[in-house]
């Protein structure tokens, strides 16, 4: 039996959320397994992140708003 190839695609959080939002607009019967796979990996990786520094997050948001 041949195992399917597995690809690692790196995306930032807003990109993942956009993909999930777009998938949610498609017929559930066709996209649910893919949606669940992406959402599951995203949730798992979010849990693996170190606790964030709220002050650093605020500075990053302010810097992006100024750009």
Q: What is the pLDDT along the chain (67 residues), one digit of tens a residue?
A: 789 898 999 999 999 999 999 999 999 999 999 999 999 999 999 999 888 766 555 555 555 455 4
Predicted TM-score (pTM) of the model is 0.69
pLDDT at residue number 21: 97
pLDDT at residue number 9: 92
Task: Compute the Cα dihedral for 50, 66, 15, 7 and give only its sign.
Answer: negative
Integer Cα distance of 19 and 33 in angstroms: 14
């Amino acid at each position: 039996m041949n195992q399917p190839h597995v690809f690692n695609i790196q995306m930032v959080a807003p990109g993942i959320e956009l993909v999930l939002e777009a998938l949610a607009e498609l017929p559930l019967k066709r996209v649910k397994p893919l949606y669940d796979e992406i959402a599951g990996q995203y949730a798992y990786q979010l849990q693996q992140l170190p606790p964030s520094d709220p002050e650093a997050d605020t500075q990053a948001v302010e810097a992006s708003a100024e750009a």
